[in-house]
Structure 1
């Protein structure tokens, strides 16, 4: 194959076989561009349309097309209005000289009235049809009055009909004329715009009534050609609509063409139904419709003439370039080309959005790098040495500047003096303001103002240490901000990748699922597969009204589990309200584990408000978070502190930021928010529901316990409570949990609650070991009861205990074999 392609593209005898095709395509492209420029950009299409509309008649005497067309062109393309007026007057002149004068006079009357009243109009588009109506009515009556001297009731009614038609046609032309502009064409056409375009094209073809070539009617050929184009592009619905509208316009112009409407409508329907056969199928539909409808004619002569007209229309249709039909189909909703165009547009918008999100991610990453750039140890040491030099400079300025031994100490013995002062500063810092006797004797021998110098060093040391603490806090804050920015950058980067993920093509699997369901007797309206990734299946279905029988959970989900080879559950379900409606169901992968929790809590002295708060958060990333926060003290203030800690943590975790960065962010917010000494502890367990791996982050909290059979394991970490210091390292303890494990988390009111107990760890382990139940709620209640009983029924602190049981996720309904696999 490659050799054949290379042979075809290589020059043969100095001539490239592909070159004529390329040149021919280029020529056709230049011709198309030239025609678009001549007709659309320069506006000569308005001249041609105006000429044909100037000839168009309804009921052999009404000309309602001229003024609406001129008014619409004047409003939309004002610079092309003279061309339109010339075409209208020229077309009217082919009917009679009177028609030409009337067309020009009515157009001039409209132009005069519209220009005079323009400054009082707030919305010209809405006012234009009313100006057309009034001008046509008054112009027609004035013409009749001049020619006949009086106006009869019939003529008044006909003038009203013509003015009403002009009003409607003006609205139609305002919708359809923008489609003839290169700059104003939309990506898609609305239904009313398609109908308006068809009416305008049919009205234009009305101007060809009476024209013929070799005794073949031009309007019949062009109308059938129009039906063929739209049936081929948009299908049976639009094709039959074009036939009905075109035939109706022709029948209004010429009553003898009434049967032609049936022929066009039937042709559009058959052609649209046979469009799968491409152009030959659509042409065959017109031919069949012509033969069937031709039987109602007056004889064989008319049938032969109609077949010739059909043949001419088919010939023009077969000569129509594919590029023209493809370009037209891109603007009509429902066509594959329109869907591809919309998909391409959505893909472009998606890529632009993902690029912008990625750029923001890079910005946050650069900001994080900028904030963390000054945290290098070498730079910290250089800054410390520099600040030490400034410190000693301030000391010498206050003591040595006026000393007579200045030159002796600093010019001749610089290093010795510098080292002595540095050593004195270190002694004062480490020995709480005292200098060692040895150093003091040596310094007195070296300096004549030893005591004063030591006092100044002591004073300056206070400011130096304060400056060092402030600088360290700034460095810690910069590091925290850098971590937070890096976390946000990672979240936005992942979001950009999610945006760029396209929905994969799963037509084969969708057909497989539909077939399996139908063979089993389950009716499915539609299946849409978004992901078949192991552990992350995402399927949506539309099913008929099930009357609350639970087919989705009992039948469809088990069958999907067998087809896909993993447990599938119902994520969400929107049941139909009426029997004629449909239910929408979303299916997804089941997690390998589930967590069942039980909670027991009590406020100090039996109060209503506890300083402890707890939360169970199911994150979208397949993780389950259990958190307990204990605010310092009791009552409303402690409750608000602990509750706010958990709310902040929940929102940050749900955004996708890592657990350690989330806790540091919460700590930073709480430590900087207030100067009051209000702190809170945090006990957080993050459980991965796919493999039961758990991470424990304990900030000033009590130990947790894991019961596995008869074995009880303690989980402990040491960190200060949240809000005390601005920067701290979070100790993370990892633990692999197993099914049937019990995780017991508690506040200090439970752990330190038992009275006359020396070792709280052993007491709690013994009580957990002695439990005869593994129900989480019962375990929580029993532990709470034991602690309160040891205190003789007194509750001396807020108490909270959360017990979680890790269980295998066993679906309620087992899978149903379908003998099919979605590979």
Structure 2
């Protein structure tokens, strides 16, 4: 006997094969569903089918109110599907009789002719659409009756009016219902009127199957009961009962013998909705109970059996209905649990983004408050001895040029100081004129006694006023700081109560979700916060992938094809267990990137530099580089420049435009201290999507752009921040190119080279002679060149920031999603 080889397969391998098989089945079913939706909606097959059935539908024996309203609604709202609607309506009416087909054809032709005539004289024809349908049906009925009978009676006019009136009403209804036939996904909730209009349209379509039977089983009854089951399960007893009443009423108009169907459908919809807690089986059981009870009123046993069979077939179709379809219907019907969950999720995202924005503004107010509070503490309070300050000012104006200066202040300091102190006290109290003894002694002692006395009388009041003003400014600064802190706290507390905001992108969310699922990627949900070109912001919940990098390697490249721009993973929060879901944020890949290098040294090689710098991303795709040089050197200059950039960063990150931000900072620095303290500001805002740069130079030295062998100078003429309260900010716009080197520096570098007359030409030459494009190497070399010219002495604070501008290429190639472009 031949030997038989046996291959041992581990349970783990079996499980993996089972998972792969299940994924393939899910992928296949999703693709099939997408193809069906594409065929029915995008290709317009559903318009053709609905038109065919409405062309067959009639009521009260010979009234045809459905065809023209449907055609008119499609003609106005989906003009490219007009031909399909026309073919379906004519074919449907032709399947009934040649007379029906001629009636439908003539009515449509009259409508089109009337529409063309009316369009020439009226701009907004859509509002007159029901009236056009009314007169078209009215004239068609009379013309055809006269053509067949050669006379018109009062009865003919009455029936024509009734048919035209019904068509008028149906046109209004179909205008609200036809959009449901042309949308793949809809997430907006329906209102009661829309639900009723949709049910009337579906019931009218079902009326087109009045004469269809399969072995004595009515197709119309099966479809109407199936419709009631779907809405009873999705929306509950109230909507289920409403659907039953409306559907039964429309059916009874087409066939008076079907009047009892209204009771059956309404009662079945009520029971099905009440028993929906039992899932699909419970709702189906409600229909069977309702059918059994209502059928007992029938006289013929055959009718009872047929009715039960029809209900059983409807229940079977209902049980085979995909779950996702029922969930979609439930989401758009107000009051359902699915709709409430969807709305809550939407509102939660609204609160989240609103909270984030409020927190940013709160940070701005908190930074302003801290700035005022801090500099209020650093700024000197009222002098401990205002006498010394006042007398030093008087002596500077009177004694500095006196020939007896040395005798009075070096040899007899105490006596001179005592006399002047008494004089100041007398002037301040207004008793000097009466103190003749003091005046005589002072005249004998001082050769410029009259001038000193006049200066005191002239300067004392302004001096006291200035002290008072300082006290008021200090108090105002404290009040402003407290108010800003209070505003920041209020905004921070409010931000805690809300969550996030998103724009309304339901359609795009559903499209992305369907495309990814059609590719076989299991996605729980998709939330779009921004669809702005270059600022895409999408969040997804994705099943745990065990570190395989599906987000970066698979989903982001697929999104790049769907959205027609490069998408990357911005933030990823992985699940803690294999059964959980990872929260992933996707965003636009910036077309360009910035690689920066920085070198800074303090005067004399110290640790505290008066220069400060910031490299930061501002908002969506904007990179900011800022250098600030405080007046002088040391701690105070460092504090001034650092505070300037902190304020700038907070204000820019809040979304305020840069020129407004700089004016606000200037006002703050002008108000917060009475000393002549100011700072320069060199700001470059680089747009990483458009390769444009905006330069704002406030008292700053020129910057340079190295483009190959070419060196471009960027300079401005604004005064430093804090000198004047009102000024205009000049913005310099420059187009950058890949490979450009942007070099920004403080005055210690630009003007630091010793024995150089033309600093601009010297700096351009040094930049042009650079043999490297590495940003860090360039910044190091420039400062080294400046220090060498000064025999290795650092005589001022120096800062150089170099940024290289390059294309930003995606790491992974785009994966085409063919289902989207099919």
TM normalised by structure 1 equals: 0.50
Bigger relative contact order (CA 8 A; separation at least 6): 2
CA distance, structure 1, for counterparts of residue 124 and residue 154 of structure 2: 34
User: Number of residues paired by the alignment?
Assistant: 483
Q: SS of the residue aligned with 2:188? A: coil
CA distance, structure 1, for counterparts of residue 413 and residue 186 of structure 2: 83
Task: Verify the 8 A CA contact 2:330 2:339 in the aligned structure 1.
Answer: yes
Q: Which residue of 2 aligns with 1:128?
A: 129
- What is the CA distance between 1:202 and its match in structure 2? 0.6
Q: Which residues of 2 match residues 477-626 of structure 1 at below 5 A?
A: 477-497=476-496
Q: SS of the residue aligned with 1:329? A: helix
Q: SS of the residue aligned with 2:290? A: helix
Structure 1 position 466 matched with structure 2 position 446: no
Q: Which residue of 2 aligns with 1:161?
A: 162
Task: Verify the 8 A CA contact 2:72 2:133 in the aligned structure 1.
Answer: yes
CA distance, structure 2, for counterparts of residue 291 and residue 396 of structure 1: 115
CA distance, structure 1, for counterparts of residue 336 and residue 206 of structure 2: 26
Q: Which residues of 2 match residues 388-787 of structure 1 at below 5 A?
A: 432=427, 452=451, 455-456=454-455, 459-497=458-496
Q: Which residue of 1 aligns with 2:16?
A: 15
CA distance, structure 2, for counterparts of residue 467 and residue 335 of structure 1: 71
1:645-687 per-position Cα deviation (integer Å, ceiling 9, x unaligned): xxxxxxxxxxxxxxxxxxxxxxxxxxxxxxxxxxxxxxxxxxx
Identify if the C-alpha distance between structure 1 residues 426 and 223 changes in structure 2 by more than 3 Å, giving closer, same or farther: farther
- What is the CA distance between 1:31 and its match in structure 2? 4.3
Identify if the C-alpha distance between structure 1 residues 52 and 451 changes in structure 2 by more than 3 Å, giving closer, same or farther: same
Q: Which residues of 2 match residues 48-447 of structure 1 at below 5 A?
A: 48-118=49-119, 126-182=127-183, 185=186, 187-213=188-214, 216-297=217-298, 299-351=300-352, 358=359, 361-376=362-377, 378-380=378-380, 432=427
CA distance, structure 1, for counterparts of residue 121 and residue 380 of structure 2: 75
- What is the CA distance between 1:429 and its match in structure 2? 5.4
Task: Verify the 8 A CA contact 2:235 2:333 in the aligned structure 1.
Answer: yes
CA RMSD of aligned residues (A): 4.7
Identify if the C-alpha distance between structure 1 residues 427 and 334 changes in structure 2 by more than 3 Å, giving closer, same or farther: same
CA distance, structure 2, for counterparts of residue 197 and residue 415 of structure 1: 105
Task: Verify the 8 A CA contact 1:295 1:303 in the aligned structure 2.
Answer: yes
1:20-46 per-position Cα deviation (integer Å, ceiling 9, x unaligned): 445544554454445445444554432
Task: Verify the 8 A CA contact 1:56 1:207 in the aligned structure 2.
Answer: yes
Identify if the C-alpha distance between structure 1 residues 441 and 30 changes in structure 2 by more than 3 Å, giving closer, same or farther: farther
- What is the CA distance between 1:325 and its match in structure 2? 1.3
Task: Verify the 8 A CA contact 2:394 2:456 in the aligned structure 1.
Answer: no
Task: Verify the 8 A CA contact 2:394 2:455 in the aligned structure 1.
Answer: no
CA distance, structure 2, for counterparts of residue 253 and residue 432 of structure 1: 112
- What is the CA distance between 1:473 and its match in structure 2? 0.6
Task: Verify the 8 A CA contact 2:52 2:93 in the aligned structure 1.
Answer: yes
Identify if the C-alpha distance between structure 1 residues 163 and 404 changes in structure 2 by more than 3 Å, giving closer, same or farther: same
Task: Verify the 8 A CA contact 1:10 1:16 in the aligned structure 2.
Answer: no
CA distance, structure 1, for counterparts of residue 477 and residue 93 of structure 2: 82
1:722-747 per-position Cα deviation (integer Å, ceiling 9, x unaligned): xxxxxxxxxxxxxxxxxxxxxxxxxx
- What is the CA distance between 1:315 and its match in structure 2? 1.4
- What is the CA distance between 1:175 and its match in structure 2? 2.8
CA distance, structure 2, for counterparts of residue 32 and residue 320 of structure 1: 12
Identify if the C-alpha distance between structure 1 residues 383 and 168 changes in structure 2 by more than 3 Å, giving closer, same or farther: farther
Task: Verify the 8 A CA contact 2:390 2:463 in the aligned structure 1.
Answer: no
CA distance, structure 1, for counterparts of residue 441 and residue 181 of structure 2: 103
TM normalised by structure 2 equals: 0.50
Task: Verify the 8 A CA contact 1:67 1:107 in the aligned structure 2.
Answer: yes
Q: Which residue of 2 aligns with 1:748?
A: none
Identify if the C-alpha distance between structure 1 residues 217 and 486 changes in structure 2 by more than 3 Å, giving closer, same or farther: same
Task: Verify the 8 A CA contact 1:294 1:303 in the aligned structure 2.
Answer: yes
